[in-house]
Amino acid sequence: MTTVTRFAPSPTGRLHVGNIRTALHNWMLARKSGGRFLLRIDDTDAERSREAYVDAIRADLAWLGLVPDDETRQSQRLALYERAFEALRKAGRVYPCYETQQELELKRKIRLGRGLPPIYDRGALELSAEVRAGKEAEGILPHWRFKLDHDVPIAWEDGVRGAQKFDPSQLSDPVIRRADGSWLYMLPSAVDDLDMRVTDVLRGEDHVSNTAVQTQMFDALIAAGHAVGPMPRFAHEALLVGREGKLSKRLGSLGCDAFRERDIEPAAIVALLARLGTSLPVEAIADRDLLLESFDLATFGRAPAKFDDAELDRLNAALVHQLPFAGVADRLPVGMDEAGWHAIRPNLTHVSEAADWWRLVTGPVDQPAFSEEDRAYLGEAARQLAWGEDPWHALTGVLKETTGRKGKALFLPLRQALTGMDHGPDMGELLPLIGEARARERLEAAARG
């Protein structure tokens, strides 16, 4: 069976790093086996959904290279959910409820006070047809719950967490439809997973209890003749936390816009998130085929996955050092060619820093104050400068013989005069870029003081 995964964001906000990790892992799970990765926009919440967020989700996935094989929108599938609902209603698996939010909260507090689990008491099932009709005559419209089968234990083999078991009598019958007729997450998601032939649902561990309920929804939909099976396989990965060990508000808002503002490469985000929370080392791997080869749910751990900005910056620098000129040419300052990129690349943490380093070539440079001895040395360097295939090593070789200098005393004044810095790109690569006339001018200026 072809592997089919899905990423199902709600367009009520921008994707954050936790969403991105979920999307990436679903993309990898599908791609590793040559399967299909679907994007499902869960936009049944018409009041909060925004088209701008739909566009942003598409753009962020494209920027990361996570291109879906197909896209669907729940708002265009409402008739399908209506048919599923009617099939479950006829089968006695959904029922109307009339309690207000305040009444439900009171019931919850009473159960807690009695040492009972704070789940719904199924009070609505005890109402007679006459009572229900009376409430609706008063204008009290019902919300609807899915009726769990307390006689059927809930169990599945989770791709990350292993064997999972739930007692359905310890779970609330979930609300699946509001009084205004709009849908909550649970039923449309289950209907879509069956209809779209999703084989694997990989999501955060905060959805474990949802899965417990949805396993019975899948069975009920199939039994009611609304859909065919089988239900998907499930895997729940540990949630992302910050370096301090808890899920911070910052992580909840950290998304692609923030990464782009920091000039983080998409490849760095992918390299980090691909293995975060697994037993595999996080490495600066730009080749996605290599990442896919090692992707295995068996490597996923149960401990929270810690996101560290410093680690992302480290990976970004390492990957920038691997980037070919063709991959960054449109992001480089005017005049920087492949030789310039090759010379400056090892000093970069972000591609945007290339402009600062390129000024070492184009100038002007701020030279330090030199001692009288160093000024004489730099004057000699200006006179000895000769242009050829390797002007830097030719110059330092001559100066070593004529002045007796070596090591730092030989190299540092030259670098300071030519670039205004104590460190930087390899001078053997940089000096040809500076050029003979500009180099001699800088040496002579340093000699004059």
Annotated binding site for ATP: 249
Binding-site residues: 249
Q: What is the CA radius of gyration of the chain?
A: 32
Residue 266: asked if its preceding bond is cis (omega within 30°), the reply is no
